[in-house]
Structure 1
Amino acid sequence: MPTIKPLKTLDLIGELRQQLKLSQGSLAAKLGVLLKTVSCWENEQTASSSMVKQANCTID
């Protein structure tokens, strides 16, 4: 039986962004962070405190 890898929060950022058809820049603008920050999140380079603060927001 194959093992299913659990998704991490950082894995979900890119998935959700793509489902919403947002560029990294658009998502960054909506969250009030730099594009580089979103890129780092998606590449699992950092999970900053700003990401934690934004966790409860909605993207409309």
Structure 2
Amino acid sequence: MKLIKDKMKIMESSMSKKAEKMDEIETETKTLTETMLDKQLQIETRINDSYQEIVDNFKTLVNNV
């Protein structure tokens, strides 16, 4: 009976460690996702700004011609 209890304790410890690792991975994944979304927004903003600058320059060129 003692052997079974010892094995159960080992299994509980192992499961606990695995659950903690899964929590860490979940947190890291959430952080990575937030970072990637922020980077995507920054890139989209730069593209939109560049596009608007091109359009404005083209309008100015057309008006000068």
CA radius of gyration, larger in: 2
TM-score by length of 1: 0.18
**Which structure exhibits the higher relative contact order, with contacts defined as CA atoms closer than 8 Å and separated by 6 or more residues?**
1
Point out the structure with the larger helix share.
2
